[in-house]
Each structure stands twice: as C-alpha cells, then as structure tokens.
Amino acid sequence: MDDRSYLAHRLRAGKVLVMTGAGLSTDSGLPDYRGPDGVRRVQPMTVAEFRAGAAARQRYWSRSYVGWTRFRTAEPNPAHDHLARLEGAGLLAATITQNVDGLAQRAGSRTVIELHGNLGRAICLDCRSTVDREWVQREFTRLNPAFAADAERARNLPLRPDGDVDIDESLIHDITLVHCPTCGSDLLKPDVVMFGESVPKPLVDHCFDLVAASRTLLVVGSSLGVMSGYRFARRAAALEVPIVLMNTGWSRAEEIATRHVHRPLREVLQEAVWDVLGDVPGTDSGSESGD
C-alpha cells in the first residue's frame, strides 16, 4: 500500500490523534526551528536567563515587541484548513500542537491542546495572572516611545521561530519593562513554555490518555526533536499505535514510525481531503481548492 492509500486508510478508521509542529505554519510565513537535517537554527532564551535580571527581560521584550506586529498578522494556510476539515468530519480525535501561534483554532479546529502555550497571552511569574499580549504591546509602546519609533528600522528583519527578531543591541536602550497589572511585578513573560520550563504534568497526562485512546498518531510538521513531543510518539510505539510522520526533513521518531511521508504538507493533506471526504480536484471546496 502506497503512502497516500495508507494515510487514507488510517484516516477512515477514525480516532486519529494529530500532533503538529512548526512546519505546519511555515506556509503562513512563520519560520520553523530546524533545518531539513534537524539542526536547530537559533538558540532561544531560557527561562533561567529571563529570570536572571532586568537586562535579559529588556532584550527579550524589545525583540518580541518588534516581531509581534508581523507574528500576529500570520493567517492559517491550506494545511491548517485541511486538518480542520478532517476534524469537522469526525475523523480526528484531537490535535496536540507544539505551536504557539493559535492558527489551528483560527482555521476552525476545535479540539486543540496547546502543549507549549500561546504567544497571544503573557503571564506573571510571581502571581500567575495572565494578560492579553495586545495589552502588553500597547503598554510597551506607551512606556518606550523613543524605542517604538526607532524600532521601525527593524520591522523588516527576519522573523525568528519564537515570534521575535534579532535586532541590533544599539536599539535596546533605556527600556522600561511592562509590569503586571495585578501585582506590579516586572516578571511578565509570554505564556509559553520556554526552554528550561516543563509542560504541566496534568496536561502531559491528558495527552498520554489521548494517545492511549487513539487508533493512529499523525505527526504533522514536527521533527519531534525535543522530548516534550517525542515522548508521545514513544508512548504510541509502546502501545502499538501506528505512527505516521508527515514532514519534508529529519525526524527523531523515524525508527519507531510506521510511515514517514516526505512531501509538502499542503499537498498530502489536500489529497487526504479528496480521498477521504470525497472532494473532487478542481471543484469549489472553499479555501482548499486550487492548491
């Protein structure tokens, strides 16, 4: 059975648990973390660095401030749309996403577990209250008008996977940090799991339960290079749940996977919609047609 037929077979069986990674959002203009060979492109700030002092937080929020304007305007791409349609047809049990962009939900997926949080929120490390990221952006602008004006020079720099840009250090001067509106702390951070942090255990346990209840684990656009996601593939393998990898590069789970489909996501998922939902290529089927 070829890859296309096998994927259609697994989808028709239902109870497919999807795990998505940064590769799902590259067609939306958001870069992924690793090249085709699996080597990490950038080294993000760790939570220990973030906590260490105000200078690190000034650097983080300055870079994030510049990148946010572009990050927040990213739109779901056809691969997101295809997954939403497959979920709507009752074939997908849930989606565990390692992405922090919220694009799966905007495309129409309803049962989405955000393993690593969402950049659309910020959280206080002291009192644990959350605030909307747009509020942080407005406050940062109000508190740092000179930087906000200078930052226009950096708007077109390459966006990094965490939604920031690598701006020149000379731009980061006299930055006033935004403080938590609840407790007044300056330890506001994006509500995402930074390197050095752990995914909450109840969330991990819930994901393990989803793996155990699934008939297939479909990994879309993720190399599973970090244990945070790879552990779910390991659990699926231990439970003899078939694992289908879908990306164009290296995967840490290659040796335990049932299939590895090395083709562009939007093409493979478009074919799945045609094969499983009965859509006819070339007909008007919403945003999926003409890909």
The first and second tokens of residue 88, run together, are 């709507």
The first and second tokens of residue 86, run together, are 């497959």
Ranges of beta strands (E only) in 35-152 are 92-97, 112-114, 117-124, 130-132
Contacts of 200 (CB under 8 A, 6+ apart): none
As a whole number of angstroms, the distance between CA 223 and CA 23 comes to 9
127 marked as binding residue: yes
Residues in the chain: 291
Cα 80 versus chain centre, distance: 12
As a whole number of angstroms, the distance between CA 188 and CA 134 comes to 13
Determine how many CB atoms are found less than 10 A away from the CB of residue 130: 16
Contacts of 156 (CB under 8 A, 6+ apart): none
Examine the residue annotation and report whether 80 is marked as an active-site residue of this protein.
no
As a whole number of angstroms, the distance between CA 168 and CA 63 comes to 9
Ranges of beta strands (E only) in 80-187 are 92-97, 112-114, 117-124, 130-132
Q: Residue with structure tokens 């209840």? A: 213
Of the residues 9, 80, 82, 116, which is catalytic?
116
Determine how many CB atoms are found less than 10 A away from the CB of residue 203: 16
Determine how many CB atoms are found less than 10 A away from the CB of residue 84: 23
183 marked as binding residue: yes
Q: In what order do the strands lie in the sheet with 259-261?
A: 112-114, 92-97, 16-20, 216-220, 243-246, 259-261
**What residue numbers does the annotated binding site cover?**
124, 127, 180, 183
**What residue numbers does the annotated binding site for Zn(2+) cover?**
124, 127, 180, 183
Residues designated as active site: 116
